[in-house]
Amino acid sequence: MLQKVLQLYASRILSKRSYAKKGDEILKAEEFLETLIKAPEEEWNKFLIDGLTVGKGEISPEELYAVVKKRIERTLIRTEGGSYQQRILTEYLKGIESRAEEIVQVLQGKP
């Protein structure tokens, strides 16, 4: 129950600022990450399978990992060091990253 509340909190906070647009250009990997951030954790697998190139999508795992790392860096810079907010937000992003890694391994047939 508490985990769900913290996930909802992280999702709302991380959704407030979008990095998907750079001028007139839409950055697909950022847009995909924002979709994952807004999605309930139970739906991440479906989104990852449908969105990553190892599944049915257009985003390479490396592109996703890069934008997750960039978002973690931004979060670390913009939040108070060592705060619970910082921990919750970075753990949420790391959760997305680790789920993506698991999905990629399964789809590539690696144990």
Under 8 Å between Cβ of 36 and 71? no
Query: pLDDT > 70: what percent of the chain?
Result: 99
Task: Give the domain ranges of the chain.
Answer: 2-107
- Gap between the Cα atoms of 43 and 110, Å rounded: 22
C-alpha separations of 33 from 15, 25, 84, 104 in Å: 10, 16, 22, 15
Looking at residue 22, its pLDDT comes to: 86
Q: What is the mean pLDDT of the chain?
A: 95
pLDDT band at 109 (very low <50, low <70, confident <90, very high): confident
* Mean pLDDT, residues 14-42 taken together: 94
Query: What is the value of pTM for the model shown?
Result: 0.93
